[in-house]
Structure 1
Amino acid sequence: MKHIWQDRLAGLLVLIAGALSLREAEKLYRFHNGAWIGDHVFPALVGAGFVVLGLILLVRPGLGPAADEGERTERGTVIRVAAVPAILLGYTLLLPWAGYLLGTFAAAALLFRTVGTYRWRICLPAALLVTVCLDLLFIRWLNTPLPAGHILWL
């Protein structure tokens, strides 16, 4: 049995997110350099897509495949899914104190381990590679000021 009320609730939430994104695009529009150039473009496109998809879910719920009634999500999957925002929140809180390099390395390693379920011998070199690439891109090439942190300078 398809759960129509769940689709309608999801559609309403997506519609609200789209409206908020469009509102943000409207606020950013005054800084534009052209119709398709500026900070407003991405939030406007995402917001418009969310509004369309939210309306589809509201008007035509139950279009997707129905989930099996007996199908249960494994506990490990639920924990891994919940761990991703927790890791990102920890990264955000840790960044000023640990600094960009150490914080990014730790967050990337934990995300590789959590999402990819790779072994640590794969996660750590991959996290180091991601950290080096992001360092080259943001700090060296784009000259983005990122926090150096306090932990490495104790």
Structure 2
Amino acid sequence: MTLFTNGFVTLQNPKDFNPIANKGDFVELSLINPNIPMTIKFSTAPTLAGLPDIKNAMEDQLNSNPNINVETSDFIAINDDIYYMLISSINTDKNEIKRNEFMFVKDNNLYSFEFVYPYADAELDDFYLNIIRSLKIKKPKYIVSGDGYKINEE
């Protein structure tokens, strides 16, 4: 088992996944398994919003795109924490792409997991949950105030 750590969090890297260049301002880790194919993205972002506000914003954004089908949008318990889970599919000319997102807010930091793959597979539920359950937060990465945020250097 390989662990990802950045001084703020640790996270289990699943077997047979390779790191790829991060894409996005707040992306901490991007992985790909070319055999499945599946990508995993883990992000941390500063936020003053709570999960209900994030849920409403995500639903509004995705429902405005006719190519995206929101299949599930709900709160779930993982470990002792409440996560927002969003499962959607994107229809392309060639296939349907599934996207499962799990979001958690703690200490004004939004922790987000995104799993993207080109088919539906309920067997992957334990796979997602095992990765999410492996998240250990050492300290918040961002310190957020009304006028912005900064990296936590404590």
> Which has more strand, going by share of residues?
2
Which has the higher Rg, Structure 1 or Structure 2? 1
Q: What TM-score do the two structures reach when normalised by structure 1?
A: 0.22
